[in-house]
Homo-oligomer: A and B are copies of this chain.
Amino acid sequence: MIRDFEQLMNEAIKKGPKRLVVAAAGDREVLKAVKLAIDNKLVEAVLVDDRDIIKSVARDIDIDMNKVEIVNVSNKLEACEKAVQLLSSGQGDILMKGLIDTSIIMKAVLNKEFGLRSGELISHITMIESRVLKRLLFVTDGGINIKPSLEEKKDIIRNAVNVAIKLGYEKPKVAVIAAIEKINSAMPETIEAAALAKMSDRGQISGAIIDGPLAIDNALSEEAARIKGIESAVAGKADILLAPEIIAGNILGKSPIYFAGDRIATIIGGTSKPVVLTSRANTADIKLISIAATVLMA
């Protein structure tokens, strides 16, 4: 079971190199991460963008052009479509978003003809390396599904569980987060949390131990759960935190960066091939960790 990003990198290096296809690769921070991934033997890279832009940025950061393949395209939209097509035709293992809006690359990923749909719901997963808690946390969904239904929450959990299992978690513990740990009909997410916990009991969701509703304190701290008198196999020991909607997931996944100085990695679940979907605000270091995580999933 992987407990921190150093261990994640080491495991990914053992499994690499995989073939990484980068859509709209002509960006300094993106290519810095790709260079680090190549140097660590995590990947071989296919860079899809305007050839001249790639070459000019690459010179700047001293990337060895013998180790990358360039696919020349004339605009960002074409870059996304071409990159996704390379993946779906078997010419790559991992898709990475370069300097392009998430909505544009996601449109290509979701394309019905050549996209990376697996028939499952696509969801967003943030991995947090918590220095204080000394373990990894998976937060979902803070980036794609705005207000998921009960059925969609079930799929979002399954995607995160699949990622955790690939990272060596035998039976990950899922906390369905709400503002309180009691059922309250004024907060419908507490009712859906109870339903998800019971779906787990009844075998409707497998491979994980699911409990909820749990407030964030009960989910993360055994002491807080004890004080509240909560008996739960998940309380205080959660691996995966399911947020009731995007805003809560977004806050939960990002605030450890700013409040704790923690590192995070972001990936996509539910696609036929793994996708690295980092933000422009992420450093090359964070992008590298995200690549390493997808290498373990490829």
Q: Give the interface of A toward B (CB within 8 A).
A: 128, 130, 132-133, 142-143, 146, 177-180, 186-187, 189, 215-217, 220-221, 223-224, 227-228, 243-252, 254-262, 280-281
Contacts and interface: CB of A to CB of B under 8 A. Distances in A.
Contacts of A228: 280-281
A251 B252 contact: yes
A154 to B, nearest CB: 19
A179 B147 CA distance: 12
A215 B177 contact: no
A33 to B, nearest CB: 15
Contacts of A250: 179-180, 215-216
B246 A187 contact: yes
A258 B248 CA distance: 16
Nearest to A178: B247
Contact of A281 (B143, B224, B243): B224
**Number of copies of this kind of chain in the complex:** 2
B133 A258 contact: yes
B179 A132 contact: no
B281 A179 contact: no
The 6 closest A-B pairs by CB, nearest first: A260-B260, A179-B250, A220-B258, A256-B259, A259-B260, A224-B281
A218 to B, nearest CB: 8
A94 B66 CA distance: 71
B255 A252 contact: yes
A245 B246 CA distance: 12
A216 B246 contact: no
A78 to B, nearest CB: 24
Contacts of A217: 254, 257-258, 281
A189 B247 contact: yes
A132 B254 CA distance: 14
Given A215-B254, A227-B281, A280-B227, A179 B262 contact: no
Contact of A255 (B223, B244, B259, B261): B259
Contacts of A142: 179
A179 B247 contact: yes
- Counting chain B CB atoms within 10 Å of each CB, the highest count among A189, A217, A246 belongs to A217
Contacts of A244: 247
Contacts of A261: 132, 260
A171 B272 CA distance: 51
Contacts of A179: 142-143, 146, 246-247, 249-250
6 contacts: A132-B259, A178-B247, A221-B281, A243-B247, A252-B255, A256-B260
- Counting chain B CB atoms within 10 Å of each CB, the highest count among A146, A260, A280 belongs to A260
A132 B247 contact: no
A254 B259 CA distance: 11
A295 to B, nearest CB: 26
A256 B255 contact: yes
